[in-house]
């Protein structure tokens, strides 16, 4: 997942402490604290779905057949994860032909985990369990958009967001990254709409609205994905293409034209792409994240369509997940850095290969500055500055922090400096091969690192430094420092502007790329007088920029300095965009100011029906915390 262009802190959206879970039932010491599943007892190996999409009721209904591999022959219970599912009936079978009804029970709902579904095994352990169910209109992992909420205003739209633990809101399953399974699906949707999944996909709508899907590589539950809408497809390479609403397709194809080249670069570094096709689905702007790495079909926010391909690092990031995350997966959410740290490193390598070292350096410098800013506001006592935090009693949605992304990739850059890029590349390639289609933890990675890289590295990587990276808060003092040559000129221009030696019109801003503008804006002091802001706005029309990243940075500056000129465009932005990276910090900044709080609430009241449930909950928490100050 790429929640942001530069990975802005999400911890604190629900409060730094996050939402704390109620007491949980006893489970194995190595179990995933965010799942009721017992994979040491039984594992789901394959799922067959047979579902219908009811856009009027805003529900999926049908059944799921879970194929089981029993680990404990004496077990007489199957525990699954659910959230707001209505369970209508459960059947079991030894052969998939003869079925008999089974007893089941739903436990009380936990605010984070949802409800444990317990299925009684009265006789022989079944090979398949069939659960008949329907989702709730409020399912946390699904968003149903009316036609008027889409770009074309012609047909409704539905899409999923399963990471981290939202798959359980639309499929009853073992919702833990420790369990991998293949799946197949039958899906019925209104005729004329195109249905897609994280699987082998059609490129044209079917006449009768019926579709079949197959995912033959084993994936964890958070990579199950579904989308249905008025969509068109265009190829952008031999293995890559774009799905989007027809009105957005041409711009998307232009923006992401380098995708096939990205695949080739990644393969040259880290081995074959193992998922068949790599297509992009450009979702409505309510999608709560920058991107989601669903295999074969990355979900992408339209807010990265800038017209100049300056924000395509997000595509490199989601593609990189095809090796780190999708191929080799963290086995629980405490180990999230194994997904995102490695992916952010690979992303930067792809950007360097395609666009040059200077652009890659600029992007990484912006990352590290963002990490330092976050660490100044993130309490060490909450453990979230460590690569290996204990979030077992927190909602994983509340702790998507820059730590996993930027500190994780910085650690790999540190290894690169110490052992050399060639040796690190060879190690990473072997690591991805060795653990392909497996879920692992940090200790497993460290064992492999020691045996296959550090054993022959002498004292290049002292044990104390390794432990500091993984287990200590903050940024190690021995972390390598990165600089971008172009940023020195930006520093000089900013200093001249702030001193009055250079007027806004005299700044070379028309020649700056997105990263240079972000660096310039990020370096402005907290307080900037309205006259200077107006001059910048007049010279570069920042309030009306079509670049979402620059707009976000500019709106934040305008809010904290009471620059009321931004309000109409800020309201439009908040009404049209549901990406958490943008809207949650903007609402937080507005809620912190007495002069803006009530206005922000009125905007949210109008915008909330277009936001994803994840985003809505986060913004509600912002206002709740502001009220309790």
Instruction: Catalogue the active-site residues.
Output: 318, 405
For residue 381, what pLDDT is reported?
A: 66
Q: Is the pTM of this model over 0.85?
A: yes
12 has pLDDT over 50: no
Phi, psi of 625 (to 5 degrees): -70, -35
Judge whether 465 lies within some domain.
Answer: no
Mean pLDDT along residues 93-113: 95
What's the number of domains the chain is made of?
Answer: 2
For residue 17, what pLDDT is reported?
A: 31
411 has pLDDT over 70: yes
For residue 9, what pLDDT is reported?
A: 40
**Is residue 290 marked as binding?**
yes
Helix (H) or strand (E) holding 554: helix 548-560
For residue 424, what pLDDT is reported?
A: 98
Q: Which one-letter DSSP state was computed for residue 480? A: P
580 has pLDDT over 70: yes
For the chain, count helices (H), then strands (E): 18, 21
Phi, psi of 373 (to 5 degrees): -65, -40
Mean per-residue pLDDT of the chain:
93
**Is residue 293 marked as binding?**
yes
For residue 374, what pLDDT is reported?
A: 86
157 has pLDDT over 90: yes
For residue 400, what pLDDT is reported?
A: 67
Greatest pairwise CA separation for the chain in angstroms: 84
d(CA 357, CA 160): 36
For residue 489, what pLDDT is reported?
A: 96
Mean pLDDT along residues 116-122: 95
Judge whether 200 lies within some domain.
Answer: yes
**Is residue 347 marked as binding?**
no
CATH number, position 188? 2.60.40.1730
Helix (H) or strand (E) holding 281: strand 278-282
Judge whether 596 lies within some domain.
Answer: yes
16 has pLDDT over 50: no
Judge whether 108 lies within some domain.
Answer: yes
Place of tokens 């879920």: 439
**Is residue 163 marked as binding?**
yes
28 has pLDDT over 60: no
- 568, with CB counted inside 10 A (0-12, 13-18, 19+), is exposed
Q: Which residue, 252, 287, 313, sits at the end of a domain?
A: 313
Q: Which residue, 313, 336, 354, sits at the end of a domain?
A: 313
474 has pLDDT over 80: yes
| Comparison of pLDDT for 563 and 10, the residue scoring more | 563
Residue 119's pLDDT band (cuts 50, 70, 90): very high
- 196, with CB counted inside 10 A (0-12, 13-18, 19+), is buried
Residue 58 belongs to domain spanning? 42-313
Residue 3's pLDDT band (cuts 50, 70, 90): low
Residue 377's pLDDT band (cuts 50, 70, 90): confident
Judge whether 330 lies within some domain.
Answer: no
For residue 378, what pLDDT is reported?
A: 73
d(CA 617, CA 397): 11
pLDDT tens-digit series, residues 456-465: 999 999 999 9
Judge whether 21 lies within some domain.
Answer: no
Helix (H, G, I), strand (E, B) or coil at 184: strand
Strand partners for 281: 243, 299
For residue 383, what pLDDT is reported?
A: 85
**Is residue 174 marked as binding?**
no
18 has pLDDT over 80: no
15 has pLDDT over 50: no
pLDDT tens-digit series, residues 40-99: 999 999 999 999 999 999 999 999 999 999 999 999 999 999 999 999 999 999 999 999
Judge whether 426 lies within some domain.
Answer: no
**Is residue 161 marked as binding?**
yes
For residue 26, what pLDDT is reported?
A: 44
Angle 580-591/594-607 helices, nearest 10 degrees? 140
Mean pLDDT along residues 613-620: 90
pLDDT tens-digit series, residues 211-256: 999 999 999 999 999 999 999 999 999 999 999 999 999 999 999 9
Cα–Cα distances (Å) from 219 to 143, 187, 280, in that order, read 22, 19, 18
User: 426: cis peptide before it, omega within 30°?
Assistant: no
**Is residue 579 marked as binding?**
yes
CATH number, position 521? 1.25.40.320
Helix (H, G, I), strand (E, B) or coil at 347: helix
- Range with the lowest mean pLDDT among 93-107, 314-328, 363-377? 363-377
Structure tokens at 407: 């500190």
d(CA 231, CA 150): 11
Helix (H) or strand (E) holding 65: strand 59-70
Helix (H, G, I), strand (E, B) or coil at 569: helix
For residue 249, what pLDDT is reported?
A: 98
Judge whether 578 lies within some domain.
Answer: yes
Q: Which residue, 292, 313, 334, sits at the end of a domain?
A: 313
d(CA 499, CA 502): 8
For residue 522, what pLDDT is reported?
A: 95
């Amino acid at each position: 997942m790429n929640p942001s262009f530069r990975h802005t802190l999400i911890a604190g959206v629900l409060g730094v402490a996050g939402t704390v879970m109620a007491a949980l039932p006893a489970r194995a010491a190595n179990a995933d604290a965010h799942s009721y599943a017992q994979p040491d007892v039984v594992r789901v190996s394959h799922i067959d779905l047979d579902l219908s999409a009811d856009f009027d009721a805003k529900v999926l209904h049908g059944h799921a057949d879970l194929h089981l591999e029993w680990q404990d022959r004496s077990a007489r219970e199957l525990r699954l994860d659910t959230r707001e599912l209505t369970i209508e009936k459960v059947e079991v079978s030894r052969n998939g032909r003869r079925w008999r009804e089974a007893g089941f029970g739903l436990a009380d709902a936990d605010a984070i985990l949802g409800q444990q579904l317990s299925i009684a095994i009265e006789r022989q352990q079944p090979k398949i369990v069939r659960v008949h169910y329907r989702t709730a209109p409020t399912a946390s992992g699904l968003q149903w958009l009316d036609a008027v909420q889409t770009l074309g205003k012609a047909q409704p739209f539905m899409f999923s967001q399963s990471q981290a633990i939202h798959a359980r809101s639309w499929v009853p399953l073992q919702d833990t990254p420790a369990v991998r399974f293949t799946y197949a699906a039958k899906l019925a949707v209104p005729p004329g709409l195109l249905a897609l999944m994280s699987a082998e996909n059609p490129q044209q709508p079917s006449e009768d609205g019926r579709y079949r899907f197959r995912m033959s590589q084993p994936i964890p539950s958070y990579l199950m994905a579904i989308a249905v809408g008025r969509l068109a497809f265009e190829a952008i390479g031999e293995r890559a293409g774009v799905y989007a609403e027809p009105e957005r397709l041409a711009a998307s194809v232009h923006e992401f034209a380098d995708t096939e080249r990205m695949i080739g670069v990644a393969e040259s570094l880290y081995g074959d792409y193992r998922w068949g096709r790599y297509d992009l689905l450009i979702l409505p702007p309510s999608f709560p994240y920058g991107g989601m790495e669903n295999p074969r079909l990355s979900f992408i926010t339209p807010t990265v369509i800038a017209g100049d391909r300056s924000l395509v690092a997000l595509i490199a990031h989601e593609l990189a997940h095809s090796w780190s995350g999708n191929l080799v997966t963290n086995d629980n959410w405490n180990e999230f850095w194994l997904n995102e740290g490695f992916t952010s490193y690979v992303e930067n390598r792809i950007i360097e290969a395609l666009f040059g070292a200077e652009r890659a350096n600029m992007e990484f410098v912006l990352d590290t500055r963002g990490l330092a800013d976050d660490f100044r506001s993130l309490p060490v006592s909450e453990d979230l500055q460590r690569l290996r935090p204990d979030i077992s009693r927190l909602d994983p949605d509340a702790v998507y922090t820059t730590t996993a992304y930027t500190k994780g990739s910085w650690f790999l850059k540190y290894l690169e400096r110490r052992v050399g890029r060639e040796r690190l590349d060879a190690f990473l390639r072997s690591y991805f091969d060795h653990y392909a289609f497996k879920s692992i933890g940090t200790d497993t990675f460290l064992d492999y690192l020691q045996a296959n890289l550090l054993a022959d590295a002498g004292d290049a990587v002292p044990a104390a430094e390794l432990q500091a990276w993984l287990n200590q808060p903050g940024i190690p003092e021995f972390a390598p420092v990165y600089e971008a040559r172009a940023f020195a000129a930006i520093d000089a221009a900013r200093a001249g502007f702030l001193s009055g030696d250079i007027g806004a019109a005299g700044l070379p801003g028309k020649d700056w790329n997105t990263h240079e503008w972000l660096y310039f804006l990020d370096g402005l002091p907290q307080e900037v007088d309205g006259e200077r802001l107006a001059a910048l706005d007049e010279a570069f029309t920042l309030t009306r920029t079509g670049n979402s990243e620059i707009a976000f940075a500019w709106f934040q500056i305008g809010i904290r300095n009471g620059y009321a000129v931004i309000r109409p465009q800020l309201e439009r932005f908040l009404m049209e965009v549901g990406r958490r990276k943008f809207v949650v910090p903007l609402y937080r900044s507005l809620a912190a100011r007495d002069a803006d709080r009530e206005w922000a609430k009125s905007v949210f009241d109008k915008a909330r029906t277009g936001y994803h449930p994840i985003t809505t909950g986060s913004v509600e928490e912002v206002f709740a915390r502001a009220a309790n100050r």
